[in-house]
Amino acid sequence: MRLDKFLCDCNLGTRSQIKKDIKAGLVTVNAHAVRRPEQHIDEKADKVYYKGQFCSYEPYVYYMLHKPAGIVSATEDQHDQTVLDLFGEDRRNDLFPVGRLDKDTEGLLLITNDGVLAHELLSPSKHVEKEYECHLEKPFDEKQKVLLEQGVDIGEKSLTKPAVVRILEDNKITLTITEGKFHQVKRMLHTVGNEVTYLKRIRMGTLTLDSELPRGSYRRLTEEEKERLGENK
């Protein structure tokens, strides 16, 4: 791996700043100063120090993103800004979003390079819960709640699995599902005679959206969050 990429992947700065620091002699590899950003290293064996700080390579990284509306859940797109564009040009090139949120849907999205964890979180057999905050066109009532909690016909081969509903206000609920069918939440509410006007995912499995994380921002998962997510593996 290139030395400058290694340091970027260690989250130590932008590629341009790291290149300057390498050329300035602020990086050593196996106790020898290195001034060429393009020099290749063995990230598992070589001992790299940046400004006197030992750099330990992370094979897997995990970010919580507060996706805003208008951004597509993809690694690249010819027409729209993607969730990875929010990470800038110096991001690791192996990152991807775990699952997807509709373009107009906001909220929690896990960004990682851990394919095994992604598979476990998205596998239908795992029944990982996804919780959404839903603002509705019409007042929500107990009849609609009962139908959603029993499972409804959204045009698939079988009814949706039973959902969990919490009524927050007349036109505001949270809906927890364990599937990930296309536009599922919107289709479920439509089936019971209502329409979603605003949709935000607030939880996926054990991971809950940080209420202090602004739209369009991201942060690394805490050790506790990573440990709890790892229980899905």
Whether 131 contacts 174, CB under 8 Å:
yes
**CA–CA separation, 135 vs 195, rounded Å?**
9
Residue in this structure with the two tokens 């016909």, named with its chain if needed: 153
Whether 14 contacts 52, CB under 8 Å:
no
Whether 170 contacts 110, CB under 8 Å:
no
Query: E strands of the chain, at which residues?
Result: 27-29, 32-33, 48-50, 53-55, 62-67, 96-97, 106-112, 130-136, 164-169, 172-177, 196-204, 207-208, 218-220
- Nearest C-alpha neighbor of 134 from the set 83, 100, 184: 184
- Nearest C-alpha neighbor of 168 from the set 203, 140, 137, 138: 140
Q: Give pLDDT, residue 233.
A: 64
Helix (H, G, I), strand (E, B) or coil at 128: coil
The DSSP result for 48-65, as a single string, is EEETTEEE---S--EEEE
Rounded average pLDDT per 10-residue block, the chain, 233 residues: 89 88 96 95 93 90 97 93 90 90 97 94 93 98 97 96 97 97 96 98 97 97 92 71
Which residues are within 8 A (CB) of 72 and not within 5 positions of it... i.e. 6 or more apart?
Answer: 80, 81, 82, 83, 103
Residues serving a catalytic function are 102
pTM for this one?
Answer: 0.85
Which residues are within 8 A (CB) of 171 and not within 5 positions of it... i.e. 6 or more apart?
Answer: 135, 136, 137, 138, 139, 140
